[in-house]
C-alpha cells in the first residue's frame, strides 16, 4: 500500500458540443514533512495548449511524436473558484508561476498562498470548481469528432519534497511547468471520480467502476470510478467504442515450466511468483475489432512477464483504449490502470504493431505507475527501464521483428528483404546514430533537442541496461530489477538509488559504469588495431652463445629449416602480435578471443584502461580470427564492425546485410 498523500473526490460533466469538462474537485492534501507549508502549487497542464506562447508550444513548435497541434481549436484549464473547505476563499490569491524558465506567458503552474500554514503531518481540504476545455487531440489528450481522451484535465497538486527526499536539500515544491519533452510526477493517493456523459457514450477510466446510472430525461449516464494507490486519473469516452472484457487467468497463462525457470533465475520460490486474476477491458474501434486477439495476447504477455519478473500487478483492472483514425496524438500513452494503444488499418504481423505498443504502455504500470520516478527530471528511469523490459518480452514472446517501414501505410520490410531484428539490435542501432550529445541523466526539457531526448530516454538506456546485464550476468540483473520494483514500489526513487541497489545486489562497485554511461557522455569504442602472424624463421646474423660466436647465413638458415622439418613431431611456429585499441573516452573491461587454424582458442581479459594494448604469442598454428568482445556483449560499443579480424573474410554476405541495414536507417530514421 502506498503512502497516500492525496485524496481526490471529483465530479465532472462532459459537454461533447463545447468540448469541455466542467468539474468540481475536493482535494485533501496531507503534509508529509516536518515543515510548516504556507503555499500550495498546482499543475494546470491543459494551459500548455491555450496559445502559441506557452513553454510547451514554444519548445515543441506545435508538433510532438509526429503529430501536429490543430491551431483552430485550443485547450485550456480555468480554476473558477478555490476555497478552503468550510473556510476562506482562495481564488483571488491564485497566481501563475514559471519555475523552470523566464516565460511569463506560461500558465501551466499556479501557486496559492494559504491563510494558515499546513503544519507537519496535518491536512488541508480544498474545494475547487474548474473548467477543462479540450483541444483537438494532441500530445496525449483532447478530442477527435466524438472521441474524447481526457488526460491532464484537472488541477493537480505538485509534490512537496522534504529535505532528504530525492535530491532536495531543503523542503519545497517540485511542480514543473508542462514541457514538450516531459511527462509527470505526483504523489500517491485515492481517486473517487464521478463522470457524467451522454447516454450513448461508452466510458473507460482509471480504477474500478463502482456504479452506473441513467437519467432518461437528460439522456445522460453517470459513472463512478474508484482507485487507491495511484498518482493520476484519466478517462475516455466515445459512442463508437466496442467494449470487450476478458479475464487474465494466471493458471492458464503461466506454465509450470515457465514458473520454475523464472524462480531459478530470480532465486526465489515459485510461490513468490504467484499472480492474481485481472479483468482486462478493451475499448476497440469497430474497424479494429478483428485485431482483438492480438491486443489480448499482448496484454496477457505484459501481465504475465512483468508480474513474474518484478511482482504481481496489484490492481483489479487494466483498460486498453484503441483511439480512432485521426486521433494518433492520443495513442501510445499510459495512465494508472488505463493505457492507450494504437494501430493502423493494415498492421504488420511481424513488426510489433500493436503488440509492442500494448506491452510498452502496460509496462508503465510498473515503471512510472508503481515505481513513481520523476519523469520531468529523470525520464530514463521510466522510459529506459520500460524499453529494456518491453524489448525482453517482445523478443521472448514474438521473436525478431520486421523493421517498422511502411509505404502508403503498408508494411513493406519483408517485401524489401530487410532482415528481422531483435529489440536489442534495433535499439542499439538507433542509439549509435543520436546518442552522443547529452548524458542520460538530464531534465527532460534540457536535452539538445527532441531526438536527443528520445534516444537518451528510450533506446540508449535500454542499451545501457542490456550491457549491464551482459556484464553482470542475466541472473544478477534479473534480481536487481526485481529488487528495484519490490523495494521502491509506491515510492519516488532516483538514479542514485538505482546505482546503490546495483552495487548492493551485485556485490560489486559499479560506480564507474554509472559515472560514464548515466551521468556522463563518454563515447565507448574498442577495436582490433592490428593482427600480425608471421612464421618464426631461423635468425640470421652473428651471435655469441655460450661464449662462442656463431654466424648464420641464409644458406645455413635454409639447411637448419629443412633439417627441422624432417624431425618427427615438427610444427612450424608463428609469431602472433595482436593490438587492441580504445578509441573513445569511455573505459570498459573487454574480452579478446583469438582462434587459430588448429582450432585452439586463446582468451584474454583486458581492463580497457590504456589507449592500446599489445599481446604477443608464439604458436604452432596461424591465426584464423580475432574478436574483441566476442558475442557483442558490450552493446554500448560504438561499432561492432571493427571488433573482429578474419583471415579470409566472407565479404558478400556481410555486404548484403549491411546494405539492407543502411537502407532501413536512411528510410526510417529522422
Helix (H, G, I), strand (E, B) or coil at 458: helix
Q: Are 590 and 613 in contact (CB under 8 A)?
A: no
| Residue-level length of the chain | 670
Count of alpha carbons within 13 angstroms of residue 338, beta-carbon side: 28
Cα 158 to Cα 175: distance, rounded to the nearest angstrom? 5
pLDDT at 350 over 90: no
CA torsion sign for 622, 624, 626, 629 is: negative
Could you tell me the three cell numbers for 571? 610444427
* Band (204; pLDDT cuts 50, 70, 90): very high
Say which DSSP state 229 is in. Answer: E
Ranking 66-70, 126-130, 614-618, 654-658 by mean pLDDT, the lowest is 654-658
Ranking 128-142, 542-556, 618-632 by mean pLDDT, the lowest is 542-556
Helix (H, G, I), strand (E, B) or coil at 223: strand
For residue 402, give every residue at least 6 positions away whose Cβ sits within 8 Å of its Cβ, in sequence order, or none.
Answer: 348, 350, 351, 411, 413, 414, 418, 420
pLDDT at 407 over 60: no
Helix (H, G, I), strand (E, B) or coil at 81: strand
- Averaged pLDDT for residues 94-115: 97
Q: How far apart are the first and last CA of the chain?
A: 43
* Per-residue pLDDT tens digits for 440-479: 999 999 999 888 999 999 999 999 999 999 999 999 999 9
- Averaged pLDDT for residues 527-547: 82
Hey, what domains does the chain have and what are their CATH numbers? 1-230 (2.60.40.1730), 240-365 (no CATH), 526-531+576-668 (2.60.40), 537-571 (no CATH)
Helix (H, G, I), strand (E, B) or coil at 305: helix
Q: Tell me what pLDDT residue 654 has.
A: 39
pLDDT at 67 over 80: no
Q: Where are the beta strands (DSSP E) in 171-219?
A: 172-174, 189-198, 202-205, 208-215
Helix (H, G, I), strand (E, B) or coil at 411: strand
pLDDT at 415 over 90: no
Q: Tell me what pLDDT residue 418 has.
A: 72
* Per-residue pLDDT tens digits for 290-327: 999 999 999 999 999 999 999 999 999 999 999 999 99
* Band (652; pLDDT cuts 50, 70, 90): very low
Closest CA to 160 of 174, 148, 150, 144: 174
Angle at 34 between CA 29 and CA 40, to 5 degrees: 35
Cα 457 to Cα 528: distance, rounded to the nearest angstrom? 31
Helix (H, G, I), strand (E, B) or coil at 637: coil
* Band (351; pLDDT cuts 50, 70, 90): low
Cα 301 to Cα 497: distance, rounded to the nearest angstrom? 29
pLDDT at 376 over 80: yes
Top pLDDT among 435 and 67 is at: 67
Q: Tell me what pLDDT residue 658 has.
A: 40
- Averaged pLDDT for residues 503-527: 96
Chain Cα centroid distance, residue 95: 35
Cα 493 to Cα 461: distance, rounded to the nearest angstrom? 17
Percent of the chain predicted with pLDDT > 90: 79
Percent of the chain predicted with pLDDT > 70: 90
0.85 surpassed by pTM: yes
Compute CA distances 631 → 132, 444, 467, 634, 644, whole Å: 54, 34, 12, 9, 11
pLDDT at 650 over 70: no
Cα 361 to Cα 167: distance, rounded to the nearest angstrom? 28
* Per-residue pLDDT tens digits for 235-267: 999 999 999 999 999 999 999 999 999 999 999
pLDDT at 30 over 90: yes
Cα 21 to Cα 150: distance, rounded to the nearest angstrom? 9
The helix or strand, by DSSP H or E, that contains position 570, with its residue range, turns out to be none
Chain Cα centroid distance, residue 197: 35
Q: Are 82 and 127 in contact (CB under 8 A)?
A: yes
Closest CA to 462 of 510, 423, 501, 433: 423
pLDDT at 667 over 60: no
Q: Are 294 and 355 in contact (CB under 8 A)?
A: yes
DSSP string, 248-297: E-HHHHS-HHHHHHHHHHHTS-GGGG----EEEEEEE-GGGGGGHHHHHH
Ranking 102-106, 272-276, 430-434, 614-618 by mean pLDDT, the lowest is 430-434
- Averaged pLDDT for residues 485-504: 98
Q: Are 140 and 183 in contact (CB under 8 A)?
A: no
Chain Cα centroid distance, residue 36: 37
| β-strands 208-215, 123-133 pairing | unpaired
pLDDT at 564 over 70: no
* Band (344; pLDDT cuts 50, 70, 90): low
- Mean of per-residue pLDDT scores for the chain: 91
Cα 119 to Cα 648: distance, rounded to the nearest angstrom? 76
For residue 425, give every residue at least 6 positions away whose Cβ sits within 8 Å of its Cβ, in sequence order, or none.
Answer: none
- Averaged pLDDT for residues 70-94: 94
Q: Tell me what pLDDT residue 64 has.
A: 77
For residue 533, give every residue at least 6 positions away whose Cβ sits within 8 Å of its Cβ, in sequence order, or none.
Answer: 574, 575, 576, 622, 623, 647
What HEC string does 115-182 produce? EEEECCCCEEEEEEEEEEECCECECCEEEECCEEEECCCCCEECEEECCCCCCCCCCEEECCCCCCCC
Amino acid at each position: 500500500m502506498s503512502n497516500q498523500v492525496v485524496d481526490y473526490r471529483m465530479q465532472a460533466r462532459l459537454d461533447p458540443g463545447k468540448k469541455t469538462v466542467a468539474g468540481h474537485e475536493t482535494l485533501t492534501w496531507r503534509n508529509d514533512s516536518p515543515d510548516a507549508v504556507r503555499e500550495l502549487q498546482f499543475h494546470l497542464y491543459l494551459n500548455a495548449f491555450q496559445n502559441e506562447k506557452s513553454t510547451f508550444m514554444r519548445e515543441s513548435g506545435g508538433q510532438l511524436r509526429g503529430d501536429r497541434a490543430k491551431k483552430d481549436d485550443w485547450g485550456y484549464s480555468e480554476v473558477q473558484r478555490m476555497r478552503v473547505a468550510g473556510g476562506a476563499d482562495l481564488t483571488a490569491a491564485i497566481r501563475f508561476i514559471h519555475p523552470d524558465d523566464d516565460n511569463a506567458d506560461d500558465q501551466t503552474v499556479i501557486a496559492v498562498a494559504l491563510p494558515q500554514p499546513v503544519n507537519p503531518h496535518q491536512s488541508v481540504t480544498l474545494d475547487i470548481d474548474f473548467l477543462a476545455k479540450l483541444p483537438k487531440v494532441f500530445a496525449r489528450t483532447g478530442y477527435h469528432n466524438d472521441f474524447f481522451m481526457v488526460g491532464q484535465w484537472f488541477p493537480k497538486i505538485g509534490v512537496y519534497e522534504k529535505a532528504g527526499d530525492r535530491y532536495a536539500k531543503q523542503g519545497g515544491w517540485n511542480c514543473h511547468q508542462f514541457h514538450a519533452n516531459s511527462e509527470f510526477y505526483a504523489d500517491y493517493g485515492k481517486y473517487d471520480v464521478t463522470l457524467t456523459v451522454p447516454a450513448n457514450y461508452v466510458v473507460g477510466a482509471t480504477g474500478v467502476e463502482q456504479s452506473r446510472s441513467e437519467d432518461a430525461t437528460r439522456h445522460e449516464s453517470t459513472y463512478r470510478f474508484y482507485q487507491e494507490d495511484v498518482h493520476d486519473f484519466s478517462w475516455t469516452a466515445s459512442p463508437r467504442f466496442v467494449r470487450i472484457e476478458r479475464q487474465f487467468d494466471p493458471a492458464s497463462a503461466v506454465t509450470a515450466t515457465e514458473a520454475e525457470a523464472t524462480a531459478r533465475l530470480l532465486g526465489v520460490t515459485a510461490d513468490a511468483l504467484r499472480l492474481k486474476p485481472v479483468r482486462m477491458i478493451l475499448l476497440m474501434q469497430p474497424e479494429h475489432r478483428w485485431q482483438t486477439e492480438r491486443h489480448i495476447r499482448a496484454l496477457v504477455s505484459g501481465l504475465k512477464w512483468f508480474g513474474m519478473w518484478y511482482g504481481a500487478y496489484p490492481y483489479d483492472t487494466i483498460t486498453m483504449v484503441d483511439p480512432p483514425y485521426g486521433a494518433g496524438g492520443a495513442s501510445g500513452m499510459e495512465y494508472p490502470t488505463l493505457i492507450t494503444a494504437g494501430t493502423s488499418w493494415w498492421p504488420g504481423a511481424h513488426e510489433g504493431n500493436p503488440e509492442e505498443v500494448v506491452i510498452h504502455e502496460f509496462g508503465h504500470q510498473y515503471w512510472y505507475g508503481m515505481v513513481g520516478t520523476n519523469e520531468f527530471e529523470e525520464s530514463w528511469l521510466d522510459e529506459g527501464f520500460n524499453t529494456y523490459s518491453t524489448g525482453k518480452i517482445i523478443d521472448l514472446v514474438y521473436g525478431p521483428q520486421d523493421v517498422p517501414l511502411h509505404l502508403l501505410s503498408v508494411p513493406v520490410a519483408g517485401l524489401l528483404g530487410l532482415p528481422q531484428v531483435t529489440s536489442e539490435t534495433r535499439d542499439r542501432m538507433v542509439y549509435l546514430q543520436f546518442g552522443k550529445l547529452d548524458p542520460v541523466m538530464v531534465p527532460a526539457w534540457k536535452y539538445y533537442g527532441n531526438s536527443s531526448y528520445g534516444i537518451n530516454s528510450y533506446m540508449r538506456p535500454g542499451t545501457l541496461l542490456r550491457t549491464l546485464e551482459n556484464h553482470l550476468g542475466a541472473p544478477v540483473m534479473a534480481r536487481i530489477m526485481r529488487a528495484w520494483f519490490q523495494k521502491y514500489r509506491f515510492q519516488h526513487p532516483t538514479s542514485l538509488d538505482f546505482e546503490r541497489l546495483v552495487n548492493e545486489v551485485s556485490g560489486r562497485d559499479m560506480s564507474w559504469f554509472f559515472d560514464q554511461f548515466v551521468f556522463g557522455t563518454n563515447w565507448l569504442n574498442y577495436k582490433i588495431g592490428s593482427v600480425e602472424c608471421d612464421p618464426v624463421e631461423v635468425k640470421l646474423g652473428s651471435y655469441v652463445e655460450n661464449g662462442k660466436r656463431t654466424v648464420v647465413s641464409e644458406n645455413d638458415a635454409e639447411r637448419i629449416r629443412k633439417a627441422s622439418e624432417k624431425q618427427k613431431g615438427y610444427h612450424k611456429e608463428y609469431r602472433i602480435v595482436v593490438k587492441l585499441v580504445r578509441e573513445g573516452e569511455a573505459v570498459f573491461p573487454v574480452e579478446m578471443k583469438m582462434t587459430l587454424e588448429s582450432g585452439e582458442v586463446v582468451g584474454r581479459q583486458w581492463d580497457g584502461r590504456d589507449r592500446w594494448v599489445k599481446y604477443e604469442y608464439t604458436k604452432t598454428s596461424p591465426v584464423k580470427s580475432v574478436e574483441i568482445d566476442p558475442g557483442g556483449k558490450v552493446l554500448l560499443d560504438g561499432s561492432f564492425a571493427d571488433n573482429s579480424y578474419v583471415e579470409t573474410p566472407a565479404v558478400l554476405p556481410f555486404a548484403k546485410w549491411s546494405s539492407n541495414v543502411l537502407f532501413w536507417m536512411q528510410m526510417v530514421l529522422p
